[in-house]
């Protein structure tokens, strides 16, 4: 934090935080802990207990040590530095927070000033494992002090302006849940046939999905018989009989009716009849986490497969030599990728321009038979068809690490539209979801603008530019003198005293040399 400060308006003075407020650094209590509300004193241990709406403790202690009073300002001084709330009751202050008692100055004035100084507070943090602000640095943190009546006027003006901002943020907060429901409804409508009802009326003579399934069965069987015949003629071992030669009997029960031209089928039947068309990555000793490296062939894992979108992720990679051993797990362009362990059910398509890559054990790839199904159609059906979701989440195995296996995935029943209609469904889903993304981006941009406006309001307020000054107000120097007399301290100059600033530098240098935090 720079020691240079702007000149203040007439009647204001600079003072150190320790001169105008009482600092109470937190300490880990030695009593027993409980999560039961009402049992003991609520404990504020760190950033997770300080929320936008105020303190939100999750633990209680029987023997509180450092305790704050209602109206005190609670600042997170360790790890995630800078979260600030106002205490609405007594709390036990844990090691990660500090309580600031405003004393004779306006507590909200001080709280709002510190809220605008979060970056500067973060800059005070020192340490290797966890950044932490020491009491010494907090004690000499500079505060611009306005006359007391002006403090009240500034707080009232900020709160009035922030109320408008809060109203905007509340409206923005309602948008993401609505967009989530919108996306779900778009996908559900797509796989009930509602999204293309008009298209079917305009195209009544399209080949029905049931006829398509039968025709592909016939073609697959003929192709397999030709392979067997060729192998016999060449006195070679005949190829393995694919599972996709005959359409399976389905286990669908209590499902919604589909349009007349649609049919039910399975993931396995929609997969290519080529070997390993539905497959997960290598398990066990085939690929250890220790074999990942920064260069080489990409290993596609959970973090690469987002909801409807592929991302390069953390870029776990394997050597070219290891890839030669694991080539059968290669991810192919336009494969449907699905997470099947831990985070279950996220789906995306492998990009058409995907670099050489393998899948890992937490991801299944489905190489789709393009005669039957558009890859993006199957991907969207897996992530959004209500009937498919009901099957999928009803089959999830495991408690601590839920997951599904290949057999569950293969037998999932899929509502299949005619091939031409699949393309229309995919296109309309993509158009509507892009509209949702555009709205989401606009909401985030508006949210960021609102945050910048709030920061601008705070900056103007503490330069004395937000409200009119009253020459009849008692100067802040007189207020500061009374505070000093009451606390047995000398008055303050118009800036933090040079010895205060030197003291802060001295303590920071001492902690840096020792690697410690101080108290």
Rounded-to-10 torsion of CA 226, 231, 237, 241: 0
Superfamily of domain 13-149+474-514 in the CATH hierarchy: DNA methylase specificity domains (3.90.220.20)
Taking the C-alpha atoms of residue 455 and residue 461, their distance in angstroms, rounded to an integer, is 10
Q: Give the chain's largest Cα–Cα span.
A: 110
Mean pLDDT of 411-432: 96
Burial of 312: CB neighbours in 10 Å, binned 0-12, 13-18, 19+: exposed
- pLDDT of 293 strictly over 60: yes
Superfamily of domain 207-417 in the CATH hierarchy: DNA methylase specificity domains (3.90.220.20)
The two structure tokens encoding residue 506: 């001295």
Taking the C-alpha atoms of residue 226 and residue 224, their distance in angstroms, rounded to an integer, is 5
Mean pLDDT of 356-361: 93
Q: What value, to the nearest 5°, has the Cα angle with vertex 376 and ends 394 and 220?
A: 90
Residue extents of the structural domains in the chain: 13-149+474-514, 207-417
Mean pLDDT of 75-94: 91
220: CB partners within 8 A, 6+ apart: 242, 244, 245, 273
- Which pLDDT tens digit goes with each residue over 437-488? 999 999 999 999 999 999 999 999 999 999 999 999 999 999 999 988 877 6
CB distance 100 to 24 below 8 Å: yes
pTM of the model: 0.75
Task: Give the DSSP letter of residue 130.
Answer: S
Taking the C-alpha atoms of residue 391 and residue 398, their distance in angstroms, rounded to an integer, is 16
CB distance 242 to 390 below 8 Å: no
C-alpha to C-alpha distances, 320 to 91, 276, 303, 440, nearest whole angstrom = 57, 22, 22, 40
CB distance 364 to 406 below 8 Å: yes
- pLDDT of 255 strictly over 70: no
Q: Mutual orientation of helices 386-394 and 375-384 as an angle, nearest 10°?
A: 60
- Which pLDDT tens digit goes with each residue over 151-183? 999 999 999 999 988 899 899 999 999 999 999
In residues, how long is the chain?
A: 519
Place of tokens 């539905």: 278
The two structure tokens encoding residue 98: 């500090």
Strand (E) or helix (H) holding 441: helix 419-461
CB distance 398 to 145 below 8 Å: no
Phi, psi of 128 (to 5 degrees): -100, -55
- pLDDT of 402 strictly over 80: no
Output the CA torsion sign for 490, 495, 496, 499.
Answer: negative
SS3 368: strand
pLDDT at residue 399 in the model:
54
- pLDDT of 378 strictly over 90: yes
Q: How many CB atoms lie within 10 A of CB 311?
A: 10
The two structure tokens encoding residue 509: 């240098």
CB distance 65 to 91 below 8 Å: no
Place of tokens 């010895």: 499
- Which pLDDT tens digit goes with each residue over 20-31? 999 999 998 887
**In sequence order, what are the beta bridge partners of 126?**
132
Taking the C-alpha atoms of residue 412 and residue 387, their distance in angstroms, rounded to an integer, is 10
Taking the C-alpha atoms of residue 106 and residue 118, their distance in angstroms, rounded to an integer, is 19
Helices (H), 234-328: 267-270, 320-325
pLDDT at residue 1 in the model:
39
Q: In 482-495, which positions are buried (b, 16+ CB within 10 angstroms) versus exposed (e)? A: ebbeeeeeeebeeb
Band (pLDDT 50/70/90 cuts) for residue 341 is confident
Taking the C-alpha atoms of residue 391 and residue 383, their distance in angstroms, rounded to an integer, is 12
Q: What value, to the nearest 5°, has the Cα angle with vertex 13 and ends 8 and 19?
A: 140
- pLDDT of 308 strictly over 70: yes
Taking the C-alpha atoms of residue 18 and residue 502, their distance in angstroms, rounded to an integer, is 15
pLDDT exceeding 90 applies to what percent of the chain? 63
Please indicate whether the domains covering 13-149+474-514 and 207-417 agree at the CATH topology level: yes
The two structure tokens encoding residue 254: 């209590």
Strand (E) or helix (H) holding 51: strand 50-51
Q: How many CB atoms lie within 10 A of CB 251?
A: 11
Lowest mean pLDDT among 98-112, 131-145, 212-226, 500-514: 500-514
């Amino acid at each position: 934090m720079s020691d240079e400060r702007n000149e203040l308006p007439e009647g204001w003075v600079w003072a150190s935080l320790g001169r105008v407020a009482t600092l109470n650094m937190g300490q880990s209590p030695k009593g027993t802990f409980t999560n039961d509300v009402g049992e003991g004193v609520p404990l504020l241990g760190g950033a997770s207990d300080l929320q936008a709406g105020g303190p939100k403790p999750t633990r209680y202690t029987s023997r509180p040590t450092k305790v704050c009073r209602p109206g005190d300002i609670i600042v997170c001084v360790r790890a995630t530095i800078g979260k600030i709330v106002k205490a609405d009751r007594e709390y036990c202050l844990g090691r990660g927070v500090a309580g600031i008692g405003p004393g004779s100055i306006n507590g909200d004035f001080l709280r709002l000033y510190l809220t605008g100084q979060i970056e500067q507070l973060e800059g005070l943090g020192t340490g290797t494992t966890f950044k932490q602000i020491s009491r010494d640095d907090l004690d000499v943190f500079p505060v611009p002090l306005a006359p007391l009546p002006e403090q009240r006027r500034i707080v009232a003006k900020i709160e009035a302006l922030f109320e408008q901002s809060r109203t905007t943020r509340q409206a923005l907060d309602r948008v993401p849940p609505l967009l989530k429901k919108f996306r779900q409804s778009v996908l559900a409508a797509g796989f009930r046939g509602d999204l293309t009802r008009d298209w079917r009326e305009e195209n009544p003579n399209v080949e029905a999905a049931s006829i398509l399934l039968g025709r592909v069965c016939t073609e697959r069987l003929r192709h397999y018989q030709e392979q067997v015949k060729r192998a016999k003629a060449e006195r070679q071992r005949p190829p393995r009989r694919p599972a996709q030669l005959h359409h399976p009997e389905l286990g669908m029960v209590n499902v919604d009716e589909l349009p007349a031209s649609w049919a039910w089928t399975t993931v396995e039947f929609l997969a290519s009849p080529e070997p390993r068309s539905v497959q997960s990555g290598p398990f066990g000793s085939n690929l250890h986490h220790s074999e990942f490296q920064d260069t080489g062939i990409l290993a596609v894992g959970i973090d690469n497969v987002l909801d409807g979108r592929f991302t390069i992720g953390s870029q776990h990679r394997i050597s070219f030599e290891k890839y030669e051993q694991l080539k059968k797990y290669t991810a192919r362009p336009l494969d449907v990728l699905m997470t099947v362990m831990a985070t279950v059910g996220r789906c995306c398509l492998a990009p058409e321009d995907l670099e050489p890559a393998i899948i890992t054990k937490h991801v299944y790839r489905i190489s789709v038979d393009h005669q039957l199904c558009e890859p993006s159609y199957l991907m969207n059906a897996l992530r959004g068809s209500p009937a498919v979701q009901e099957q999928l989440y009803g089959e999830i195995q495991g408690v601590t690490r839920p997951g599904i296996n290949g057999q569950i995935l293969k037998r999932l029943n899929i509502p299949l539209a005619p091939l031409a209609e699949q393309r229309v469904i995919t296109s309309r889903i993509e158009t509507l979801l892009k509209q949702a993304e555009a709205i989401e981006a606009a909401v985030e941009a508006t949210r960021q603008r609102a945050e910048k406006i709030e920061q601008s309001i705070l900056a103007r307020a503490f330069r004395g530019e937000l409200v009119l000054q009253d020459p009849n107000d008692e100067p802040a120097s007189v207020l500061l003198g009374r505070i000093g007399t009451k606390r047995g301290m000398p008055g303050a100059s118009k800036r933090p005293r040079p010895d205060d600033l030197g003291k802060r530098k001295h303590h920071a240098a001492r902690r840096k040399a020792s690697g410690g935090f101080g108290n």
